[in-house]
Structure 1
Amino acid sequence: MAGIFGVYKKDKGVDLDVTIEAMIRSMDSKNKLKVDKYRDDELGIGIGRVSLGIFNQVDQPVKEEEENYLLIFHGELYGDTTASNTPQYILKKYIKEGDRCFADLCGIFHLAIYDKKLGKLKLVIDKFGLQPLYYSIVSGSLIFGGEVKALLEDKRVNRTPDYRAFADFLRYGHILGEKTLFTNIKTLASGSVLTFDLSTGDSTINKYWDLRNCFVEGGNYDYKASVDKVVSLLIKSIRDRLSNKESIGLSLSGGLDSRGILAGCGEDAHGIRTYTLGLAGCGDEKLAQMMSQLSGTNHEFIELGQEYGQNFEKMAKDMIFLSDGMYHPHESTEMAALEYFKRAGFKILLRGHGGETAKAALAYPVMVAPEVYTFTGKKDILNFIFNNTNLVIRDIDSSKLFKDTFYEIMKESPRKSLEESCGVISDILAPADVCIYYYINEYIRRQVIASLEIFRTQVEIRLPYIDETYMHALLKLPVKLRNSGEIHFELIKRCMPGLIKIPNSNTGAPLDAGRIRLYFTDKFHSIMKKLSITGFRHYTEFQKWHREGFRKSSHEIIFSDKTAARGLYNMDYLEFVFNQHVKGEKNYGHILGTIVGIELWYRTFVD
């Protein structure tokens, strides 16, 4: 998988080259990617980059003339059309401005700088943490990389599991904060600089940018703010991400987010490659085709046939390996998309993630319900988020499912993780905005990005809805103006009004439907979807797959001697949960997929 990597070894007697080459092999196991590398045996420093060769094709690291500074960069910046050599542009800014320069960088990236004058290594990640960068500090040495498995190639990095991360997974469906599944490997916090002193082994982490600054304090919204301006900024964000149009693809569904991107492309949408993935006869298939015909895209439907998922164990293992165990096989369409990308005619993928920042009432899993506006204190909103993000355990009795030792962790750790994430911000922002903060900083950064890391083995990713300038303007608006698609509607009306009449796959109604029509259409559409009628059915059948196609493999993994020996679960009660799901009495696909994922992570990275 693409990204930077590096190591500083305090013990100069350790073979630096062996570690670097092992890290490269872990990130480029098929020896097909572009590799840049640099090492200084005298200093004990090795850094490099593995890339798809799409962005920043210049050889790295870049240096200034006297070689007092080295920079290795992965990703891309937006809005700077003058910088033909992005890494060199950043290095010049750093030499002139120091760490202050990072606040001017807008894009998806991570980078490392060796500052010889200061005797320090610096690791930097983009403002929203969309290009993960992992690190471990062991015995005065620093090891870092764009994926966890690269760090494990340094034998000093131990493989002790972090049970707090397990607890997060088993409640939220993803990890919160900067934890990984290993105790001594962390992910660098969004908008941060880690500075490592080579002489002392000391490190500091400082924020050069903070997501909270996109919000207004205490709900003091600008009631005179212009929706038109917000829409214009969103259009600019979309079009800033249309460079290299011939290499761009768009994942197109029947909902609002991808539709909004399509509209924002304007005339440039003509000829762009779009695709939809799902079961034959799903609602998205029909609606996406209608949108493609209207906009002139080059569209393809990727059918999930009966054969998909038949080898569930291999598919699940591949997902765990590619995501470093941080995306689990619950909703399992990523591998089908990955196979498609291998033959698709694009190398840069536009995705609609983050669109819910302008749809507060639909921002899964923290949809802002009417009750949120009645909350008066920190405790209310944290309880609301804690309860609504219980996606995995749900109504299962944790005291019966987990062994006593792990149950004690489950009782305390997930709540503590939420307090660490949102405790301070909940004293500053209005309750509705605390939900959106969680959605961006935790759900997007730790769950969505984990799934996109799988895609990044084949394509680069652009996310138009996650843009600093747009968000600054958007989040000043009262929530009622960014509640259920108002911004999307105005964008589509301005740029591609024909899309308004194409029904929304979530409601079955056109975007301009009145309340009465929307109410009845939504009810009818829900019934037709539940009956799996052609043209209305859901794009996948997750629960059916878990009860039928995945059943045998899941059972073998979950009830193996290895899983039992982990000491996490009471196997008799787990058998009860499994049987309830298989019989259709309960929907426990998420927790069963998570348990499978944790076990396969053990087998892949620990055993």
Structure 2
Amino acid sequence: MSGIAGIHNRTETPVTAAELERLGATIAHRGPDDKGLFTGKQVGLIHYLLRIPSAVSVPQPLTSEDGAVTIVCDGRVFNHAELRAGLESRGHRFSTAGDVEVLVHLYEEQGEKFLDGVNGMYGLALWDDRNRKLILARDRIGVKPLYYADTGDSFIFGSEIKAVLADPSVRRRVNARAMSDFFGLSYVFDGETMFRDVMALPPGCICVVDGSGSPRVSTYWDMYFEPDHAWDEAETAARGLAILKNAVELEFADVDPIGIHLSGGIDSSFITSLAADIDRDRIIALSAGFREKEYDERNFALNAAEKAGVRYEEIEVYPEADTFLKTMLEVIRFVDEPTVSPGIHSFYILNEFTGRKVKVVLGGQGSNELLAGYNRYIMADMGDRFGRAVKRLNPVAAAGVVREMKGFFGPQPLKSLFLEAGKPSARRALRIASTFAPAEKMKLFSPAVVSELGGYSTEQRYIDGFINAPASTTIDRMMYLDMKNMMPNMLRILDRTCAAFGVEARTPFLDHHFVEFAASLSDDAVLKGTESKYILKKMGEGILRHDTIYRDKSGFAAPVTPWLQGHLRREANETLLSERALDRGYFNADNLKAFIERHERTGKGVWQVWMLLIFELWHRDFIDS
């Protein structure tokens, strides 16, 4: 892991070391072991290095032999040995043993297509002095972050938003569109941030900045769903297992010791088992649990660790009322933007614990979004099947779906099932994906926010994305949107809460070869009735415990409901209904009070209350200050 930042001046004004240091000081925690700078006629780059025990860690920036190409990179090139061998055979000479130098030589050969053969996680900036252009690039899935702002005279970028905001020319203003997205869908759409003047470089994209005008952003990789409907279960499971094994081997290879976030579910247990087959003595399995027994899964994590034969350590998470808001402000300061994830507090505590043990940790992120692991995919599939049955006047099939839904979800969703039977699948998917219902959200917003939105509709943007997704089924379209929009937000939490404590996070399920494998699966390979992640479970048979594969799983989900309705209730409500919060003018005060009171009375809407609380805390730290 590293931290990178830089400035490109279109006026050809030299970038000073002091300007770079100002940006870099905000992200120095990402790389506390070394710092390097590069300044040219109109560009400056800065890099902070985290040294990984047992791995080759080379200080940056790195420059080509002729001085024409200079790079700073946060991340890892996992297939660097293979790429280096090919480059050396074609006459390239290397000056370091590190992985990042292959990118310099690939660019010399291939120009802007230099990432086509790279397998890795990276956010990078490359200065091409010969052609006077700056290139930013981000890995295919967005494991590594990269942000930028274009002020006209200057282009500022960094690994974290706070680095971009450190430049005095970048204004701190709330992005009303992102605010609508956040409260509507629980994430901000790909490419935007909660700051009006700061953009996120989307995953799988490259951004070119030269003297010709606005930055040019283009896509070099995307996820295309091309399902194989004639799949063979044994062959498909074997193929998926081979791809996942290779991903774990690449990401595990150069680290000793290495941590694994182990919750005891199939995803993290699978990663633990495959890593243990390589070298179990290097592994420390790390887990977090809760006092609230219905949320605590440490016994399952311990069982998985014992099955894999690896060292196991755990921590208990319980936020005290008098320190909770202080801790959450620390978390938000690292994360940069509001996040709906109730587990962010727990994850922060877990990663503080992780940082005392290891410098690299593997995680199971991505499996749910790639293999229909969430209940919303099951609900969407039931809605599709019910709609088809009604359209074909097949009462037997329709009644079967009703029984199945009632048995799995209870009677609550049946009303929506009946009302939406004739609606387009995009509308049904939107309703399932929404956090605040559209009418409820707009009622909560103040007239000033509604006016600033200027007709922008989060919901229409979701529907347009659903319709235009490179997929043909409802489940695949939903997973595509989740991978493109929700996943980068989740990875931001992973990256920042790990970086806060000098830890690099790696995610084998998000190796782009496994992502492409998942996109080749038909719906019945990932979801059979109510059995989600079907093919992954078949991959795990004979490797994992049966109860690890087939039990219900909540992951590192935090007990936010009992917290907000219990010992954190008073402090949360006082924060949300404080004069300071109400005077901001984002929300209709009467409607906000009514919403909070309804939550108090019924216990419903805990996620929405959490979102409102996180938004307020974020605003206090990033906008007020």
Q: TM-score range by the shorter chain?
A: 0.7 to 0.9
Give the alignment partner of residue 300 of structure 1, picking from 313, 317, 339.
313
1:445 is displaced (CA, Å) by 1.4
Match runs of 1:145-294 below 5 Å: 145-197=158-210, 199-212=211-224, 215-216=225-226, 221-223=229-231, 226-268=236-278, 270-271=280-281, 272-280=283-291, 281=293, 283-294=296-307
Structure 2 Cα separation of the partners of residues 448 and 378 of structure 1: 36
* 2:398 is aligned with 1:381: no
1:114 is displaced (CA, Å) by 0.7
Structure 2 Cα separation of the partners of residues 506 and 308 of structure 1: 29
Q: Which amino acid aligns with 2:106?
A: K
Residue matched to 1:434: 477
Match runs of 1:532-543 below 5 Å: 540-543=558-561
Residue matched to 1:349: 361
* 2:182 is aligned with 1:134: no
Residue matched to 1:586: 603
Change in 2 beyond 3 A, CA 1:395/1:588: farther
Structure 2 Cα separation of the partners of residues 600 and 125 of structure 1: 29
1:433 is displaced (CA, Å) by 1.0
1:411 is displaced (CA, Å) by 7.7
Residue 86 of structure 1 aligns to a residue in which SS? Answer: coil
Change in 2 beyond 3 A, CA 1:188/1:297: same
Q: Which amino acid aligns with 2:287?
A: T
8 Å CA contact retained: 1:277, 1:539: no
Structure 2 Cα separation of the partners of residues 375 and 101 of structure 1: 46
Change in 2 beyond 3 A, CA 1:137/1:367: farther
Residue matched to 1:515: none
Structure 1 Cα separation of the partners of residues 297 and 551 of structure 2: 6
Change in 2 beyond 3 A, CA 1:254/1:13: closer
* 2:484 is aligned with 1:456: no
Residue matched to 1:73: 73
Match runs of 1:360-439 below 5 Å: 360=372, 362=374, 368-372=380-384, 380-391=424-435, 393-394=436-437, 397-407=440-450, 409=453, 412-419=456-463, 421-425=465-469, 428-439=471-482
8 Å CA contact retained: 1:231, 1:487: no
8 Å CA contact retained: 1:378, 1:423: no
Deviations 1:501-527 (A, max 9, x none): 5575517xxxxxxxxxxxxxxxxxxxx
Structure 2 Cα separation of the partners of residues 386 and 371 of structure 1: 12
Residue matched to 2:89: none
Residue 51 of structure 2 aligns to a residue in which SS? Answer: coil
1:410 is displaced (CA, Å) by 10
Residue matched to 1:115: 128
Residue 289 of structure 1 aligns to a residue in which SS? Answer: helix
1:135 is displaced (CA, Å) by 0.7
* 2:621 is aligned with 1:604: yes
8 Å CA contact retained: 1:260, 1:491: no
Residue 195 of structure 2 aligns to a residue in which SS? Answer: coil
Residue matched to 1:519: none
Structure 2 Cα separation of the partners of residues 123 and 15 of structure 1: 18
Residue matched to 1:516: none
Residue 437 of structure 1 aligns to a residue in which SS? Answer: helix
Structure 2 Cα separation of the partners of residues 556 and 587 of structure 1: 18
Residue matched to 2:408: none
Residue 510 of structure 2 aligns to a residue in which SS? Answer: coil
Structure 2 Cα separation of the partners of residues 81 and 431 of structure 1: 40
Q: Which amino acid aligns with 1:417?
A: R
Residue matched to 2:417: none
Residue matched to 1:490: 538
Residue matched to 1:500: 546
1:550 is displaced (CA, Å) by 2.3
Deviations 1:441-472 (A, max 9, x none): 11211234334422222211111111222232
1:5 is displaced (CA, Å) by 0.5
Deviations 1:398-446 (A, max 9, x none): 35422223246498421143245434216x5322211111221112112
* 2:89 is aligned with 1:91: no
1:382 is displaced (CA, Å) by 2.1
Higher deviation after alignment, 394-403 or 98-107: 394-403
* 2:512 is aligned with 1:468: yes
Q: Which amino acid aligns with 1:257?
A: D
Structure 2 Cα separation of the partners of residues 582 and 10 of structure 1: 54
**Unaligned residue ranges in structure 1 (runs of 5+):** 508-528, 530-536
Q: Which amino acid aligns with 2:619?
A: Y
TM-score, structure 2 length as denominator? 0.83
8 Å CA contact retained: 1:358, 1:474: yes
Deviations 1:155-201 (A, max 9, x none): 1111221101011111111211211111121101111111111x344
Q: Which amino acid aligns with 1:242?
A: F
8 Å CA contact retained: 1:222, 1:477: no
Structure 2 Cα separation of the partners of residues 31 and 99 of structure 1: 27
1:233 is displaced (CA, Å) by 1.2
1:394 is displaced (CA, Å) by 4.8
Residue matched to 1:573: 591
1:89 is displaced (CA, Å) by 0.8
Change in 2 beyond 3 A, CA 1:438/1:15: closer
Structure 2 Cα separation of the partners of residues 161 and 371 of structure 1: 37
Residue matched to 2:45: 47
RMSD of aligned residue pairs (Cα, Å): 3.0
Structure 2 Cα separation of the partners of residues 260 and 461 of structure 1: 17
Match runs of 1:7-86 below 5 Å: 7-11=7-11, 16-28=16-28, 32-40=32-40, 43-54=41-52, 57-82=57-82, 83=84, 84-86=97-99
8 Å CA contact retained: 1:375, 1:381: no
Residue 341 of structure 1 aligns to a residue in which SS? Answer: helix
Residue matched to 2:332: 320
Residue matched to 1:517: none
Structure 2 Cα separation of the partners of residues 119 and 187 of structure 1: 23
8 Å CA contact retained: 1:231, 1:490: no
Structure 1 Cα separation of the partners of residues 31 and 514 of structure 2: 39
Change in 2 beyond 3 A, CA 1:373/1:67: farther
Higher deviation after alignment, 565-574 or 48-57: 48-57
Residue 38 of structure 1 aligns to a residue in which SS? Answer: strand
**Unaligned residue ranges in structure 2 (runs of 5+):** 85-96, 389-420
Residue 241 of structure 1 aligns to a residue in which SS? Answer: helix
1:126 is displaced (CA, Å) by 0.5
1:266 is displaced (CA, Å) by 4.5
Structure 2 Cα separation of the partners of residues 116 and 130 of structure 1: 28
Identity of aligned residues (%): 20
8 Å CA contact retained: 2:286, 2:354: no
Residue 270 of structure 2 aligns to a residue in which SS? Answer: helix
Q: Which amino acid aligns with 2:285?
A: T
8 Å CA contact retained: 1:357, 1:363: no
Structure 2 Cα separation of the partners of residues 15 and 415 of structure 1: 42
Change in 2 beyond 3 A, CA 1:545/1:310: farther
Structure 2 Cα separation of the partners of residues 361 and 186 of structure 1: 30
Higher deviation after alignment, 13-22 or 408-417: 408-417
Q: Which amino acid aligns with 1:506?
A: D
Change in 2 beyond 3 A, CA 1:323/1:361: closer
8 Å CA contact retained: 2:346, 2:556: no
Deviations 1:546-587 (A, max 9, x none): 12232233223212222222211122222222233234x132
Structure 2 Cα separation of the partners of residues 69 and 416 of structure 1: 43
1:304 is displaced (CA, Å) by 1.9
